[in-house]
Structures are given as C-alpha cells and as structure tokens.
Structure 1
Amino acid sequence: MATRLGEAIADGMEDLTSLVETERKLRAVWHWLPDEVTQFPTETWSEMTVTLPEPASPYRPVNRFESLLQQTNEVRYLRPEVALMEPCFDALFSLIDTGLDVTLIDRPSCHAYFFATYPQRSLEMEKRDNFTILEHDELPQCGIGLLEDRVTLSCYEQASGSVQALIETDVPVIREWAESMYASFEIDARPVAPEAYIE
C-alpha cells in the first residue's frame, strides 16, 4: 500500500509523463502554431489534447473533430477546412439542419473549392438563417475553432491542405485568446456571394 507521500510522487510522475507526451506531439506541429500560442505558460500545455495522424490512421485529427461536433451547441471557425472534410461535412450539415448556429470564416479560394465541389449542398446550407459564411483574404495559417466548451486549433500542411494535427483545450486563457482572434477577423470579414463562385 502506497503512503500519501508515495501517492503524491506517483501523481506528480503521471503529470510529468502527460506533459512530456503532449510536448512531444506539440513539437511536431510547433511551426504551424500562432506565436501567441507558443508563448502561453508551459502549464497550459498539459491541458492540451493533441491528435496526430498515424500511418494506419491518417484521418485521426479529422475523425476527432467529427466527434467533437457531435458534442457541441456552438461552432465558430476561422479557416474551417477540417470542418469541411468528410465525415465532418456531413456532421456539420446535420447540425445546421437541427438549427445550430454555425459561422465559418475562410479564404475566397476555399469557398470557391467547396461551391464548385459541392454546389447543391453548399447552396442549401447558405440559404439557412442559422448558417453564416464569411470570407477574409488574410487568415492565420492555423485554424481556430470555438466550440461550446473547448477551443480547437487545426494545423494544415500548406501545400496539400491536409490536417496535420488537431489540438483541443478548455483552458480559459486560450479561450480568451481565441475569442479575441476570432473577433479581430470577423469584424473585417465579408459576406460570401454564392453567385460569385457558381457558374
């Protein structure tokens, strides 16, 4: 039977192991993260869950985000490419269908791709009062998502657009930063005109 001191040491080792594991995962995507995130106190790192692709499961970050969509009553996203990949796109469509308010802010090139690839569904979503799509020419390289009880950061490979990591956390200081970032881009974002993207 462990003493109270032994239990405290064991708990400390678990915390250290968790921090080291998170640091190892973050190191792989550090260069994609906004500077502000890299400046957060190190104790916030252990509160981050990092989902990386694996050789046998390359869509792990996308699948993880799809599961988070099933648990939220709020979706606001800067650079939401992860939300527009299968199976997230179907989950997002279902959420909009149930009346959930969704706002996505992305680059014109991304809107052009999805209107061209999914014209019928894109138009159907765009007509919903609870779905807002905005565009902005200068967005961060990392996606920033505001869900009901957590913040997500999605890291994209710039050439292919593939999702390299999904980071999630409920740390208040990161939520505050993400809300501020979202608001700073939303204020200058423009409504999307679907006719500009559909021939």
Structure 2
Amino acid sequence: MASDEHSRETSHETSREGPPEPGTPLLEAILENARNRRYLGRRLAQANERIETDVLGDIVRHGPVLEALLDGPLDRREIESRLDVSKATSHRFTQWLDQQGFVEKVDSRFRLTGLGQIIAEEVLRFEANVGTARRLTPLLEAVCEDHQEFVVEPFVDATVTVAAPDDPYRPVERFISLVRSSETFRGFNTTHMAPLVLGGFHQHVFETTETEIIYLPHIADKLFETYPEQARAAVESGHLTLRTRDDLPYGLALFDKRVGIGGYDETTGLMRVFVDTESPVAREWAERVYESVRADSELLADG
C-alpha cells in the first residue's frame, strides 16, 4: 500500500483517554488477583501467614466433601452415600473438618461454617482454574510470553480448537464460522485474521460483517496490496474500519455473542489454537482489553 494512497491519522474522537472504566466487582477481583499473584507469596511470607503444604494438601483432599456440603447440611450416612465412602472414612472427613473449624454439627448433621464455605468455594475455584489452564495449554504457550497477566478464570467453559497434523486449519475454520454467524466483528491481531488466500472470507468481511480490525502496520499494508479495490471500497464506505498499532500481544476477536483468542505458530504464521466463549466475564474482559489497545492505535484512513 503506497504512502500517497493511505495515511494514518490518530482518531481522538473515537479513542478513550485515561485508564479503562471500572468493571464489575467480579472482573475487578480477577484482574486484581492477576496483578498481585507474582507478589502474593512474598507478602504472605512477610506477614508470616504461610500455610504448611501438608495442610493445603489436606484441604484439597477434602474437596469432595466440602463441595457436597456446599449444597446444604448432611449427616454421616448422607455423606457416605453422596461420596461412596465407608463409615470410617466419613468419620475421618468430618472429624478433620471439625478440627479445622470448617464444619459444625447441628441436629446430627454437618454444615459448613462461614470459614468452611469460603474454603470450599476456593477449592472449587482452584480446581476449575487448574483444569482450565491445562485445557488452555496450547494457547498459554502461544500468548503468555507476550502477555504475562493473561487470566484463565473467564475461560473455564471455553471451546478450545487446536490444529492437528491431519487438520491444520481447524482453528481458522472455527474462527471463520464465528465471523460468518456474526453481524459485527472487532479484533486485533499480530498477523492476518485469516490467510489472505481465503478470498471468500475477506469478501465477507469487506461486504457483509460490520468490521473493525487493529493490525500491525505492515499487515494492513499487505491487506491492501492483496485486495486493493475491495479493501479501499470497504474502508471508504465505512463498512470496514482499519486501525494500526506498532505492537500487539496476540489475536483477540469480539463477535456478537462470543469472544475469542488466537495463538499462532511463529514459524508458519498459521493459527494453531483458537479459544472462544460466551461467558459474560470473558466478554467484559475482552471489551476492556480491546478498548485499551484501541485507544493506543491509529485510524487508517483513505487519503
């Protein structure tokens, strides 16, 4: 794309200045945890509040009974039935929980104390986050080097699409299917949202979906070199808005109902994993990240 054909102008009218607007308490708590986690161990040590690893292990091992009691008080027979354990095992469970102050016995039934309820919820959250991190391993390997504060909590129920040797385009196909089913699409990416050879996809973006994309400058240039007339017409009509930024962390996509993140192979440039979800917290997180990146980007205008 020649410099006399297109110029980059900063759009002050549409960019937000200053820090992002505060999110919901849940999102703010997740982000605060992400910001503090690197220093949490040091702070606990300084406050002399480290918990012995044996105790932490015992808490996790008692996770099933803690989870069962979240549904309401149970007697020992109900615990045995719910967890399929022996009478002796249920006795050990309840005795240990009582010693820790996690349960109290009322009318022959065990119910969680306030402390026990918090512990039970944290054990479940820990299990969910570990499980999510394991499912997101291909994505984390692709993005975490550039985005150390990526948070996994919003993606606990996400769809994870990974490239396979016999089907290397699975993530791209998943991404394209979401674009085609969405009336609007916003995103940023370190490379092309889809391979430039996929003319049908780009025609859809140029003519059908209301689109705003933030690219690295040379990626935007390549798009205009490949589709000079179609891209220019889409930009001039306002159907396609292109912005550029000198540095981008990974690929983020916001559709009508879902949000997604893409990770790419550094050698081939192909999308190797795409993770998408309709979680409201993930949507809020994605909107926040997108607006932050957008505010530091420049509008690519036809000149």
Q: TM-score, normalised by structure 1?
A: 0.75
Instruction: State the distance in 2 between where 1:180 and 1:64 align.
Output: 24
Matched, 1:51 2:164: no
**Residue of structure 2 equivalent to 1:122:** 231
Deviation, 1:35, is: 3.0
Shift of 1:182: 0.8
Task: Provide the aligned length of Structure 1 versus Structure 2.
Answer: 176
Deviations 1:73-110 (A, max 9, x none): 21001117453326765234225424x42100010011
- Given the superposition, is the C-alpha separation of residues 68 and 86 from structure 1 closer, same or farther in structure 2, using an over 3 Å criterion? farther
Task: Show the counterpart of 1:12.
Answer: none
Amino acid at match of 2:287: E
Identical residues among aligned pairs (%): 27
Unaligned stretches of 5+ residues in structure 2: 1-78, 84-127
Superimposed CA distance per residue, residues 46-93 of structure 1 (whole angstroms, 9 cap, x where no aligned partner): 411111111111111111111111211210011174533267652342
Match of 2:178 among 68, 77, 82: 68
- Structure 1 gaps, min length 5: 10-17
Stretch moving more, 18-27 or 184-193: 18-27
1:177 paired to 2:285: yes
Structure 1 pair 24–156 and aligned structure 2 pair: CA distance change class (3 A): same
Distance 1:48 1:178, change over 3 A: same
* Amino acid in structure 2 at the alignment position of 1:117: T
Call closer, same or farther: CA 1:112–1:157 in 2, change over 3 Å: same
Choose 1 or 2 for highest CA Rg.
Answer: 2
* C-alpha displacement of 1:122: 2.3
Letter in 1 for 2:231: S
Aligned equivalent of 1:139: 248
1:157 CA displacement: 2.0
Report SS of the residue matched to 2:149: helix
User: Counterparts of 1:87 and 1:60 in 2: how far apart (Å)?
Assistant: 16
In terms of mean alpha carbon deviation, does 82-91 or 156-165 score higher?
82-91
Q: How does 1:68-107 map to 2 (within 5 A)?
A: 68-79=178-189, 81=191, 83-85=193-195, 90-98=200-208, 100-107=209-216
Residues of 2 paired with 1:28 and 1:113: CA distance? 28
Query: Which amino acid is the alignment partner of residue 136 of structure 2?
Result: L
Task: Provide the TM-score with structure 2 as the length reference.
Answer: 0.51
State the alpha-carbon separation in 2 of the partners of residues 124 and 55 from structure 1: 38
